Amino acid sequence: MNQLDFKGRHAVVTGGASGLGLGIAQRLIASGGSVTLWDLDGATAERAAASLGPQAHALAVDVAQQPSVAKAVAATVAHAGRIDALVNSAGITGPNTKLWDYPVDAWRQVMDVNLTGLFICCREVVPQMRTQKWGRIVNIASVAGKEGNPNASAYSASKAGVIALTKSLGKELADTGVRVNCVTPAAVKTAIFDQMTPEHISFMLSKIPMGRFGTVEEVAATVAWLCTEECSFATGATFDLSGGRSTY
């Protein structure tokens, strides 16, 4: 594992209790930093933080609710002193079905978590970063946001929104010390697969030229670098992690 320099920095990782979020938190701690895990499941987040050691803290947060996020920002700053990086990893897939059969309530839930929740987290954390004149925001999008997966219209649309939001916010903060980027993984085998049908999982694998799913460690390595001081000239950018599926 290459050594990245996140020494003395503190990151917030949403959806940090499991999956990509937990893997990213592990890599940031291994790089010398500390983390606060924000997760809707507070009990699981507490257990995850305990497993990571003294450099990890946990808070129960509903990213889709602005008061919950505002309270979490205040609590995190009170505990850690600052927020140097925000990794927006919280997300859900929604059902795998045709658009004309897609439940309206499920569409709204996917948008609330994947896009509105990410917007709220950025909105509440950016003022803190602007005050300290430094920060890194990394948004977890998806190759589905570029290509549009069939039977996943809400997920695909929400991740396309994440990419566009990243570009917009990156430009808004380009004259500051805050950098905003996103990553677009192809499928990475985590517990989120439990929300998908076997047919949809097989479809995703068939699209990857490398013939395998990505690993949590591979995504975490890129995200961790994007949180460091060395990521200084990239902002509003999209970094593919797709095994060759997406090449633009």
Express each pLDDT in 117-157 by its tens digit: 999 999 999 999 999 999 999 999 999 999 999 999 999 99
What does the pLDDT look like over 186-215, one tens digit per residue?
Answer: 888 777 777 778 888 888 889 899 999 999
Determine, yes or no, domain membership for 3: no
Backbone phi, psi, residue 112, to 5°: -60, -45
pLDDT of residue 131: 97
DSSP-derived letter for residue 164 is H
- pLDDT computed for residue 197 by the predictor: 84
How many residues are given for the chain?
Answer: 248
8 A C-beta contact, residue 40 and residue 89? no
Confidence (pLDDT) at 204 = 83
Question: Which residues on adjacent β-strands are paired with residue 85?
Answer: 11, 136
CATH number at residue 184: 3.40.50.720
Of 46, 53, 45, residue with least CA distance to 19: 45
Residues of the chain falling short of pLDDT 50: none
Q: Is residue 1 part of a domain?
A: no
What pLDDT does residue 193 have?
76
pLDDT at 4: 96
Residue 2 domain-assigned? no
Q: Is the dihedral of CA 70, 75, 78, 84 positive or negative?
A: negative
- For position 30, what pLDDT does the model report? 98
Q: Is residue 182 part of a domain?
A: yes
How many structural domains does the chain have? 1
Q: For residue 87, give its domain range.
A: 10-241
248 belongs to a structural domain = no
Domain-located, residue 160: yes
- Is 5 a member of any domain? no
Residue 4 lies in a domain: no
Catalytic residues: 155
